[in-house]
Copies of this chain bind each other. A is one copy, B any other.
Amino acid sequence: MSKIQLSTKTDELNLNDFIEPVISELSLVEKQLNTNLIDDNLIINELLSMIFKAGGKRIRPLLVLHSAWATNLSEELNDLQIILAVLTELIHTASLVHDDILDSAAVRRGSQTINKRFSDRLAVLLGDLLFAQASICLSKIMSPVIVGIYGQVLGDLCAGEIQQMKQQFSTTISWQDYIKKSISKTGSLFAAGTHSAAILNNANNETVMALKNYGLHLGLCFQIVDDLLDFTGDSTTLGKEAGSDLKSGIITAPALFVLERGDKVANKLEKLISTKEISEPESLQIALDLIKNNGGIESTIDLAKEYGQKAKDNLKDLPNSIYRDALAGFTDYVLKRVN
């Protein structure tokens, strides 16, 4: 079967196109995200609503819901798929709240971060609260296999952060390291959501694996785009200055493309990083220019497109449906951010 082509109409893509087909399910997800599953403590209700009213695109719940419909065309959606969508977003949000402490970030989703607005202490507690809510959701699904998948995701999220911390200012990081870290940070949770939805539908093994690989590659595409936006985005939308990853010694695809050249340009960049000079504003600007003027941005866009295409290719044997189309369209939506 031929490859599913990348859409040529990406300019017209809008998040609403993906929301529309699952809008009723998504409103159930939203309601459950705000539901205190732990006790009758009103403060917990308030904390949840403070976190979730701050917005977020709900990309992971959308992926779960579309994967759930795409592998179950003839029946009503199992209620557990809603819980799966909820817990996937809970884990994502918990990891954001804790990551913002790690990064000392000040802005997230256009609002002040919890750690900045209140304290690191409250942010620790809120992240834990969200993980606890996710665990309670997980227990409701009553599937040891899915508990195992999400347990591994929690481990991967930590392992990704630990690897990133360890490799700060290291210029010997390989593509394999970078891809592994990106899977841990993003691909693992995307894939958990997409293929657990198929598992809940009792889909056959090929379908489950196809949705797992779709999620994994889409997650990689998403992370690469995210890393790219650190070079090209502006501080209003990102909540941090352009180049802030690089400034902290975090090496991502655009820098890797330049470092692997092994020429004078590569040596210059390598020196700026390994000496930590790059943390100074002027040196950072030199490094950003080096990367931009030597194809780092274009090569990274191509890499993201490659993973986007791989994600789509995994959908080819799913039955034709608006949900399959939406999953395919998601890759275009993700790539649109850098086009």
Complex interface bits, A129-169 against B, C-beta within 8 A gives 1, otherwise 0: 10111011111111110011011101111110111011000
Task: Give the chain B neighbours of A184 by CB distance below 8 A.
Answer: 39
The residue of chain B having its C-beta at the shortest distance from the C-beta of A101 within the complex is: B124
Task: Give the chain B neighbours of A163 by CB distance below 8 A.
Answer: 41, 43
| Cα separation A141 to B323 with both chains bound (whole Å) | 35
> B102, B138, B139, B157: which contacts A132 (Cβ < 8 A)?
B157
List residues of A whose CB falls within 8 A of some B CB.
Answer: 37-39, 41, 43-44, 47, 98, 101-102, 120-121, 124-125, 127-129, 131-133, 135-144, 147-148, 150-152, 154-159, 161-163, 165-166, 184
B129 touches A101 (CB 8 A): no
- Give A89 Cβ to nearest chain B Cβ, in Å: 17
B124 touches A102 (CB 8 A): yes
The residue of chain B having its C-beta at the shortest distance from the C-beta of A41 within the complex is: B159
Task: Give the chain B neighbours of A39 by CB distance below 8 A.
Answer: 155-156, 159, 184
B101 touches A120 (CB 8 A): yes
The residue of chain B having its C-beta at the shortest distance from the C-beta of A104 within the complex is: B121
B38 touches A158 (CB 8 A): yes
B38 touches A128 (CB 8 A): no
B125 touches A159 (CB 8 A): no
Chain multiplicity (copies):
2
Task: Give the chain B neighbours of A101 by CB distance below 8 A.
Answer: 120-121, 124
The answer to whether A155 and B132 touch (CB under 8 A), given A98-B124, A125-B162, A147-B147, is yes
Task: Give the chain B neighbours of A41 by CB distance below 8 A.
Answer: 159, 162-163
A sample of 22 cross-chain residue pairs with beta-carbon separation below 8 angstroms, ordered by A number, consists of A38-B152, A38-B158, A39-B156, A39-B159, A43-B162, A43-B163, A44-B159, A44-B162, A98-B128, A102-B124, A124-B127, A125-B158, A129-B155, A129-B158, A129-B162, A132-B151, A136-B152, A136-B154, A138-B151, A139-B144, A141-B144, A142-B144
SS of A interface (majority): helix
B158 touches A128 (CB 8 A): yes
| Cα separation A157 to B158 with both chains bound (whole Å) | 21
| Cα separation A127 to B137 with both chains bound (whole Å) | 21
A136 touches B148 (CB 8 A): yes
Task: Give the chain B neighbours of A43 by CB distance below 8 A.
Answer: 162-163, 166
Q: Which 10 A-B pairs give the minimum distances between C-beta atoms?
A: A38-B155, A132-B154, A135-B151, A139-B148, A136-B151, A139-B147, A142-B144, A132-B155, A129-B158, A139-B151
| Cα separation A136 to B154 with both chains bound (whole Å) | 9
Task: Give the chain B neighbours of A147 by CB distance below 8 A.
Answer: 135, 138-139, 144, 147
Task: Give the chain B neighbours of A144 by CB distance below 8 A.
Answer: 139, 141-144, 147
A150 touches B124 (CB 8 A): no
Task: Give the chain B neighbours of A128 by CB distance below 8 A.
Answer: 98, 127, 131, 154, 157-158
